[in-house]
């Protein structure tokens, strides 16, 4: 599928009826280990001015604010930090707001602290860098209870310029750490949004949002932590780079699970995408390690987008390590440019329709290490075409679709098993396999169920069997995909299945599937994004509605940078 179709008037149109996320803010009792703010582990940096460092404790009892220390003041339920320093927060504040307006680092220790607001963002950083430390053994909560914003992202209306668009919103850097827990509810748009850099060092997070979950405009870095993120739009989003160094991440997203306008890098950790429109996306996607499972209604791993200046982007997907499993409704791995595999273990289970492929690329596909098993429909099936591939591969075309539970088996001519698999969940009639166990010049037996063929390997790509007809086929073994029957980068064959509630044609931005038991309304809370009842982990997306997408929808919204240029100067409206 071609990716660069502009949607200049993209709207967030969300069906939020009948929803609620059990947003009640139970009063948090003060614990007996109130940390002295002056001993917070985070260091205060005031190098430029040598500014005075303040320290204070903020205690809230029966919605009444009590402050012990300097650098911070309150008027009603609005707390204002005017000096860099260390501040300890405990208690529960309804219809409250904390404003940071100072130079230097401001360190908040959350010690069983909760804050909610139905009229404005609960935490706003106008100036200064905010570090949030979650005290050990504590549960904390920040709830933006405003109704979801349904205005056009490019709107320049008066209301757009005044709204801070996240529960935790910052004009500068935001960093989160600690060993406690934090729930963030982004009712208006995002849960956490920094218009500079957003980083998470550690902690336990439950995030819901009617737009993006964690959003760092310049960059977004996850160094560690545990995350459960449910969003209507992207779970993790940046107009710059996104880097996942480690951590345990569970995602249920209505759009991309992890999106970078520039480079997305996964170094390590565990990423489980239970539902998404597209899984991992960036102009460049690097996977260096970790365990990554992606369920997607469209492409699983996608190199797409536009440079902000409008110049031609150099697309690439580079996989050098990790264990990767993709269960796609569209393409499994899809690059507008090159695909380079030098390591890792890759399994692509689907798609089952002939209009998509487990592996799709517009440049070259090269494998020099690692292993890949890809199964899908033969209609658009591709292998590796790069002349620099040093590892042999086999494409096996079946005469008929394999029965569910059929065993794929590869053995040498002496009958010694090299590889087998029987846990494919989507229908297929083509198999791609490559690993460093394959040796050029040797004979191998490959079988699927009762079907069996033999092949003596040459270097590069080897084809066994005959591709089934239809779809207007590309050359066997890969190659450029520039010519297609309908001229738009895809044939007219079956379309990727739709996720429940994620119909991009009918509802605009699409909703994440429903989480059972969380559909009841709380009349005192604004409706929040639906929670996922999409495919379970390691299960394929439903294919009940394969014909519901038209060809113009096959590669929606790859130009998020362009969509948001007009909103750069609107406070709270920059994605």
Q: What is the pLDDT of residue 153?
A: 59
**415 near 510, Cβ under 8 Å?**
no
| SS3 state of residue 374 | strand
Answer yes or no: is 419 within a domain: no
Q: What is the mean pLDDT of residues 15-36?
A: 36
Q: What is the mean pLDDT of residues 300-322?
A: 94
Cα three-residue angle 348-261-4, rounded to 5 degrees: 70
Q: What is the pLDDT of residue 52?
A: 57
Q: pLDDT-based confidence at 469, cuts 50/70/90?
A: low
Provide the strand spans (E) within 96-138.
97-117, 123-134
Q: What is the pLDDT of residue 53?
A: 65
Provide the strand spans (E) within 440-565.
443-448, 451-456, 461-464
Query: Pairing mode, if any, of strands 226-231 and 338-349?
Result: unpaired
Nearest to 575 by CA among 237, 152, 254: 237
Q: What is the pLDDT of residue 19?
A: 35
Q: What is the pLDDT of residue 535?
A: 39
Q: What is the pLDDT of residue 162?
A: 64
Nearest to 398 by CA among 364, 375, 422: 375
The four Cα atoms 38, 175, 205, 530 give a dihedral, to 10 degrees, of 130
Answer yes or no: is 330 within a domain: yes
**Cα(575)–Cα(572) distance, integer angstroms:** 8
Query: Residue 144 CA to chain centroid, in angstroms?
Result: 22
Answer yes or no: is 400 within a domain: yes
**Of 143-152, 291-300, 553-562, where does mean pLDDT reach its minimum?**
553-562
**Cα(213)–Cα(37) distance, integer angstroms:** 29
Q: What is the mean pLDDT of residues 383-389?
A: 91
Q: Is the pLDDT of residue 391 over 70?
A: yes
Q: What is the mean pLDDT of residues 224-237?
A: 98
Q: Is the pLDDT of residue 34 over 50?
A: no
Of residues 141 and 11, the one with the higher pLDDT is: 141
Bond before 566 cis per omega within 30 degrees = no
Q: Is the pLDDT of residue 43 over 50?
A: no
Q: Is the pLDDT of residue 492 over 60?
A: no
Report the percentage of the chain scoring pLDDT > 90.
67
The four Cα atoms 71, 72, 75, 76 give a dihedral, to 10 degrees, of -160
Q: What is the mean pLDDT of residues 489-502?
A: 33
- In DSSP notation, 201-260 reads -S-EEEEEESS-SEEESSEEEE-S-EEEEEESS-SEEESSEEEE-S-EEEEEESSEEEEE
The residue assigned the tokens 């934090």 is 182
Q: What is the mean pLDDT of residues 311-334?
A: 97
What's the predicted TM-score (pTM) here? Answer: 0.79
Of residues 30 and 435, the one with the higher pLDDT is: 435
505: tokens are 């044609």
| Sign of the four-CA dihedral 279, 280, 282, 283 | negative
Answer yes or no: is 572 within a domain: no
Query: Pairing mode, if any, of strands 236-238 and 256-260?
Result: parallel
SS3 content of the chain, % helix, strand, coil (to 5): 5, 40, 55
Mean predicted lDDT score pLDDT of the chain? 80
Report the percentage of the chain scoring pLDDT > 70.
70
Q: Is the pLDDT of residue 550 over 80?
A: no
For the stretch 454-457, contacts whose Cβ atoms lie closer than 8 Å and that sit 24 or more positions apart, written own/partner, are 454/413, 455/394, 457/392, 457/394
**What's the total number of domains in the chain?**
1
**470 near 355, Cβ under 8 Å?**
no
Nearest to 294 by CA among 342, 259, 343, 337: 259
Q: pLDDT-based confidence at 154, cuts 50/70/90?
A: low
Q: Is the pLDDT of residue 536 over 90?
A: no
Answer yes or no: is 433 within a domain: yes
Q: What is the pLDDT of residue 290?
A: 98
Q: pLDDT-based confidence at 31, cuts 50/70/90?
A: very low
Q: What is the pLDDT of residue 3?
A: 44
72: tokens are 């911070």
Task: Name the residue range of residue 64's domain.
Answer: 56-150+164-406+424-438
End-to-end C-alpha distance for the chain, whole angstroms: 25
Answer yes or no: is 482 within a domain: no
Answer yes or no: is 218 within a domain: yes
Q: Give the count of beta carbons closer than 10 Å to the beta carbon of residue 251.
A: 28
Q: pLDDT-based confidence at 436, cuts 50/70/90?
A: very high
Answer yes or no: is 418 within a domain: no
Q: What is the pLDDT of residue 501?
A: 33
């Amino acid at each position: 599928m071609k990716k660069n179709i502009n949607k200049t008037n993209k709207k967030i149109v969300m069906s939020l009826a009948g929803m609620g996320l059990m947003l009640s803010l139970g009063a948090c009792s003060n614990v007996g280990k109130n940390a002295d703010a002056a001993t917070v582990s985070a260091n205060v940096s005031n190098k430029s001015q040598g500014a005075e460092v303040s320290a204070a404790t903020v205690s809230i009892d029966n919605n009444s604010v009590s402050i012990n220390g300097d650098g911070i003041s309150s008027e009603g339920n609005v707390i204002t930090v005017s000096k860099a320093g260390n501040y300890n927060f405990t208690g529960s504040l309804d219809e409250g707001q904390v404003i940071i307006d100072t130079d230097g680092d401001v360190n908040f220790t959350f010690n069983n602290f909760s804050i909610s607001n139905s009229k404005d963002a609960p935490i706003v950083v106008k100036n200064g860098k905010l570090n949030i430390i979650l005290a050990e053994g504590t549960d904390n909560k920040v709830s933006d209870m405003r109704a979801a914003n349904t205005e056009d992202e490019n709107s320049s209306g008066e209301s757009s310029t005044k709204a801070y668009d996240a529960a935790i919103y910052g004009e500068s850097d935001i960093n989160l750490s600690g060993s406690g827990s934090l729930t963030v509810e982004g009712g208006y748009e995002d849960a956490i949004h920094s218009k500079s850099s957003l980083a998470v060092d550690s902690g336990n997070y439950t995030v819901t949002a009617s737009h993006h979950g964690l959003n760092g405009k310049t960059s977004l870095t996850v160094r560690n932590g545990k995350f459960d993120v449910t969003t209507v739009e992207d779970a993790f989003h940046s107009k710059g780079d996104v880097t996942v160094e480690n951590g345990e991440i569970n995602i249920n997203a209505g759009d991309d699970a992890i999106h970078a306008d520039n480079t997305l890098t996964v170094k390590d950790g565990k990423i489980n995408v239970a539902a998404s429109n597209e899984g991992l996306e960036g102009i460049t996607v690097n996977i260096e390690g970790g365990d990554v499972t992606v369920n997607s209604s469209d492409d699983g791993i996608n190199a797409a987008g536009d440079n902000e200046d409008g110049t031609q982007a150099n697309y690439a997907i580079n996989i050098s390590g990790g264990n990767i499993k993709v269960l796609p409704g569209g393409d499994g791995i899809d690059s507008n440019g090159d695909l380079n595999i030098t390591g890792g273990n890759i399994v692509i289970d689907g798609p089952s329709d002939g209009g998509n492929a487990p592996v799709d690329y517009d440049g070259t596909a090269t494998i020099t290490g690692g292993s890949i098993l890809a199964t899908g429909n033969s209609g658009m099936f591709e292998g590796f075409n790069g002349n620099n591939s040093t590892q042999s591969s086999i494409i096996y075309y079946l005469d008929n679709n394999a029965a569910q539970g059929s065993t794929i088996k590869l053995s040498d001519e002496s009958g010694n098993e090299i590889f087998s698999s029987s846990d494919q969940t989507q229908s297929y009639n083509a198999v791609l396999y490559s690993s460093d166990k394959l040796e050029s010049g040797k004979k191998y037996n490959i079988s699927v169920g009762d079907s069996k063929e033999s092949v003596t390997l040459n270097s590069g790509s080897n084809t066994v069997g005959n591709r089934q007809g239809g779809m207007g086929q590309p050359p066997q073994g890969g190659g450029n995909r520039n010519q297609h029957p309908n001229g738009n980068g895809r044939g007219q064959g079956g379309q990727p299945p739709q996720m429940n509630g994620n119909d991009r044609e009918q509802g605009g931005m699409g909703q994440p599937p429903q989480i059972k038991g969380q559909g009841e309304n709380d009349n005192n809370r604004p409706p929040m994004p639906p929670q996922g009842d999409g495919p379970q982990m390691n299960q394929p997306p439903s294919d009940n509605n394969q014909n519901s997408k038209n060809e113009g929808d096959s590669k929606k919204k790859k130009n998020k940078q362009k969509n948001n240029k007009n909103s750069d100067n609107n406070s709270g409206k920059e994605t």
